[in-house]
């Protein structure tokens, strides 16, 4: 399978994240991409599609903020990685925010996603990596894999969080639809709910979002991904959340997968975007499902059996030593 990649993604390397009341080493490391690279073999270089596909999904002011945030942090006399400390739980009024700390809070929802001097470039090329995988599928490939980092599914139209800045899967899905490749569906199989993707398309009747993830009653991102979230307004019925309990293994995963695949087939999907996280692996250090390496091959075989052209976008997965082999197990399913 074609794998797309850009080395500029590796420069994003925050030092610490706020987790369970303290600072811990940042989990979403450049080494993640390196281990995947060594396991999946040669890659195709990302091509530059410019800002338009990003601006189709993200607010202009948010894109501006991402590009200047670290510079403004340094200009305010700070050192190291930029991170907020106050978040607006009130309705987000269109205030004219100037201080960097106010803007960091306004455009994020957690203390786990610092911005470095290289974050914008890495996120930009992560999105371009995803768009280049879409090119391959639009040109007739059955499937293509975008080796994206930073990941994307927690990023909304105007917010970052969960190690994510630009929503690569949403950018690909919107661009695929624009090119007339729809109906487009997004299947998110990362351990964590894809809150950003859900928010971006919540009111959109013309985009199916299906997610299998850890129950937000126990797991991040807590405030999204509950089974009763089915879409908003005209989009009611085009969001399907399938939360599962901690400890879920392949036997427990399959009934949810059956429901997800049935919904995607019933939608008449002609282009599938897969938000693929390997953090459902039993050995993941920050997650609590129990899938084994062979289960990733089984999962991929079920997706491939849909027989729909698929763009696979890398999301999470933090068992770094095993991550490359787990991703390869997913991509090597003969059915692709
Ligand atoms: N330090 C993805 O898998 N952990 N993101 C909560 C923050 C956040 C995971 C504590 C997990 C985000 C793409
Ligand atoms: Zn995840």
- Which residue has its alpha carbon closest to ligand 1 atom 13? 316
Average pLDDT over residues 310-321: 98
Confidence of residue 223 (pLDDT cuts 50, 70, 90): very high
157-196 core/surface letters (b: 16 or more CB in 10 A; e: else): ebbbbbbbbbbbbbbbbbbbbeeebbbbbbbbbbbbbbbb
Phi, psi at residue 202, to the nearest 5°?
-55, -40
Q: Per-residue pLDDT tens for 126-150? A: 999 999 999 999 999 999 999 999 9
ipTM, two decimals, is 0.95
d(CA 60, CA 107): 12
Report the share of the chain in percent with pLDDT over 70: 99
95-108 mean pLDDT: 96
Ligand nearest to the CA of 24: 1
**Which CATH architecture does the domain made up of 2-58+118-331 adopt?**
3-Layer(aba) Sandwich (3.40)
pLDDT category, 195, cuts 50, 70, 90?
Answer: very high
Q: DSSP strand E in the chain: where?
A: 2-5, 16-19, 22-25, 44-45, 143-146, 184-188, 208-214, 239-244, 271-276, 310-314
Q: Please tell me the predicted confidence (pLDDT) of residue 89.
A: 80
pLDDT value at 91 more than 80 = no
pLDDT tops 80 at residue 25:
yes
Which atom of ligand 1 is closest in space to residue 192's alpha carbon? 3
pLDDT of the residue at 260: 99
284 lines ligand 1 (CB under 6 A): no
**Is residue 309 pLDDT above 80, yes or no?**
yes
Q: Which pLDDT score is estimated for 334?
A: 77
pLDDT band at residue 333 using 50, 70 and 90 as cut-offs: confident
**Which sequence spans correspond to the domains of the chain?**
2-58+118-331
Catalytic (active site) residue 154: yes
Ligand 1: residue of 146, 151, 163 to mutate (most ligand atoms within 8 A of CB) is 163
Ligand 1 atom nearest residue 163's Cα: 5
Predicted local confidence at residue 90, as pLDDT: 67
State how far the alpha carbon of 78 is from the alpha carbons of 97, 117, 135, in Å: 18, 12, 41
- Residue of 161, 162, 224, 279 to mutate, ligand 1, most atoms within 8 A of C-beta: 162
Ligand nearest to the CA of 220: 1
pLDDT band at 174 (very low <50, low <70, confident <90, very high): very high
Instruction: Give the pLDDT mean for 181-195.
Output: 98
Whether 294 has a pLDDT exceeding 90, the answer reads yes
The verdict on the CB of residue 196 being under 6 Å from ligand 1 is no
The pick from 12, 192, 196 for probing ligand 1's pocket by mutation, whose C-beta has the most ligand atoms within 8 angstroms, reads 192
**Mean pLDDT score of the chain, rounded to an integer?**
97
Nearest-CA residue for ligand 1 atom 2 is 316
Given 70, 154, 192, 193, which residue is catalytic? 154
Give backbone dihedrals phi and psi of 82, rounded to 5 degrees, phi first.
Answer: -80, 135
**Are 37 and 4 within 8 A, CB to CB?**
no
pLDDT given for residue 83 in this prediction: 97
Mean pLDDT value across residues 149-154:
98
- pLDDT tens profile 230-276: 999 999 999 999 999 999 999 999 999 999 999 999 999 999 999 99
User: Is 249 in contact with 291 (CB distance < 8 Å)?
Assistant: yes
Lowest mean pLDDT among 39-43, 119-123, 198-202, 211-215: 39-43
């Amino acid at each position: 399978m074609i794998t797309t990649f850009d080395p500029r993604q590796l420069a994003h390397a925050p030092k610490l994240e706020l987790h369970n009341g303290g600072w811990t080493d940042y989990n979403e490391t450049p080494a993640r991409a390196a281990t995947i690279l060594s396991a999946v073999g040669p890659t195709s270089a990302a091509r530059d599609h410019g800002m338009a596909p990003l601006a189709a999904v993200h607010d202009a002011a948010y894109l501006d903020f991402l590009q200047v945030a670290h510079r403004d942090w340094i200009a305010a006399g700070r050192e190291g990685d930029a991170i907020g400390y106050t978040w607006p739980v009130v309705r987000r009024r269109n205030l004219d925010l100037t201080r960097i700390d106010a803007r960091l809070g306004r455009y994020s929802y957690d203390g786990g996603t610092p911005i470095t001097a290289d974050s914008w470039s890495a996120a930009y090329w992560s999105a371009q990596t995803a768009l280049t995988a879409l090119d391959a599928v639009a040109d007739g490939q059955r499937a293509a894999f975008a080796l994206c980092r930073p990941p994307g599914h927690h990023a909304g139209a105007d917010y970052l969080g969960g190690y994510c800045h630009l929503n690569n899967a949403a950018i690909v899905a919107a661009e695929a639809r624009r090119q007339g490749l729809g109906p487009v569906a997004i299947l998110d199989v990362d351990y964590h709910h894809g809150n950003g993707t859900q928010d971006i398309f919540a009111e959109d009747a013309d985009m199916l979002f299906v997610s299998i993830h850890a129950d937000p009653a126990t797991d991040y991102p807590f405030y999204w991904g509950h089974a009763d979230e089915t879409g908003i307004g005209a989009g009611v019925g085009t969001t399907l959340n399938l939360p599962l309990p901690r400890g879920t293994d392949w036997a427990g995963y399959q009934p949810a997968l059956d429901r997800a695949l049935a919904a995607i087939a019933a939608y008449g999907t002609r282009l599938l975007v897969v938000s693929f996280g390997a953090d459902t692996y039993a050995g993941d250090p920050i997650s609590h499902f129990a899938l084994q390496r062979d289960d990733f091959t089984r999962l991929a075989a079920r997706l491939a059996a849909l027989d729909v052209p698929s763009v696979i976008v890398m999301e999470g997965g933090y068992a770094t030593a095993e991550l490359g082999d787990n991703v390869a197990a997913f991509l090597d399913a003969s059915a692709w």
